[in-house]
Every structure is written in C-alpha cells, then in structure tokens.
A and B are shown apart, each in its own frame.
Chain A
Amino acid sequence: GQSLEQPSEVTAVEGAIVQINCTYQTSGFYGLSWYQQHDGGAPTFLSYNALDGLEETGRFSSFLSRSDSYGYLLLQELQMKDSASYFCAPSQLDNYGQNFVFGPGTRLSVLP
C-alpha cells in the first residue's frame, strides 16, 4: 500500500527557518518532489530529489533519505510571501512511466 504523512499546519515568523517533514511508503519509489501552492493558485514545482542528500535552491533546500523513506523541505529567511501550502510528492515508476502521489499538504503561515 501507499501512505504519506506531513504536518497539516506550521507557523513561523518572518526571517526564521522552518522544516517541513514528509514520510512516505510508496511501492516502486523513484524520487521525491516538493510543490508550493498559494491560495487560489496552481501548484508550482520547487525541487526534486532522486538521490539521498540535500539539494539547495536559493532559500529552499530539500533532503531525501531513501533508506528512511523520509524527506524534508527547509525554508530559510522566511518571507511573508512564503505563506502557502507545501506538498511532498513521492514518485513511483510503473509500466507507464513515473507518477507522483501528492500528500494532503502542509499549510505554512508566516507571521510578521
């Protein structure tokens, strides 16, 4: 079966660092993606980890540990505009290619 867990809500203040954890159980696991979605907007791609370790893109970093079925998204120097929902999406490879399973999302609120 498949399961996916991430916190439903996280609150932090401007300038702080926040880590959003994601644990998953996905058959045929291939990689882990993160998406950001502002209220009323479409999800937009943030990062993808195929290998263990940390990937850094500006203020955002994403980490994957395949042996622990665990990943996290790290947001540094938080800004008000980072208030959004963040989805982790483990991917699985099957006969038709790669498909992603989206979690319920973590709603991040950044306070002044």
Chain B
Amino acid sequence: DVKVTQSSRYLVKRTGEKVFLECVQDMDHENMFWYRQDPGLGLRLIYFSYDVKMKEKGDIPEGYSVSREKKERFSLILESASTNQTSMYLCASALVGRGGSYNEQFFGPGTRLTVL
C-alpha cells in the first residue's frame, strides 16, 4: 500500500513564526502536491513538484514556499505565518504514467494548522 505521511496531525503556531510542514511518501512517486482545504472551498493547490528540486506554483502560492531535496520528501514552508493561513493542509503524491498523466493521487492524513 502507498503510504503518505505528514509530520504533524495538529500544529499551533503564532503569527510571524516560520512553519515547516513535512510530507513523505514511500512509493517512489514522481509528483507531489500541497493543498489546503477550507470549508466550502474544497481543496486548493498551493504548490506541486514533478521531480526533485523542481517546483511549480499552484492556484494559491502566495505566502508559501516549498522544498523537494529528495524524491520522497516534499516540504511546505510558511515563511511568516498569518492567521489567514489557519487551515487543513493536505499532501498528496502520484505515480506518473505515459505522457505525464496519472489517474490517482494518494493523500496524507493532513495537518490542521492553527495560527494565533
């Protein structure tokens, strides 16, 4: 079974703190993603990575950065946390097939971040 793990289930930080959210997958997937999920808004893509050291902005990258130094690990960084970044953060990975396509994303359990 594919396993995607996230470093924390719950996290409480203060405004202005630097926050690191870690995600690790164990199935050698090329693509990894960070989403945030807010009530009524579904999942919104923050950043994704299709290879080591490669990253691309998603729909809402402002206030976030990412790092992918190893294939299995994708980190989301909040340089200076703000209260509007209080949310559920979900990491996902996908095995890329022919032509860069894939059918299924595997999600981690999520990190519920509260910024006070």
Q: Using a CB–CB distance below 8 Å, which chain A residues touch chain B? A: 8, 30-31, 33, 41-45, 48, 50, 87, 91, 93, 96-105
Contact = CB atoms under 8 A, between A and B. Distances in A.
A37 to B, nearest CB: 9
Nearest to A4: B42
B100 A97 contact: yes
Given A33-B104, A48-B104, A97 B31 contact: yes
Interface of B: 31, 35, 40-45, 48, 50, 56, 58, 90, 96, 99-110
A19 B103 CA distance: 22
A45 B4 CA distance: 14
A91 to B, nearest CB: 8
A100 B33 CA distance: 10
Contact of A100 (B41, B105, B106, B109): B105
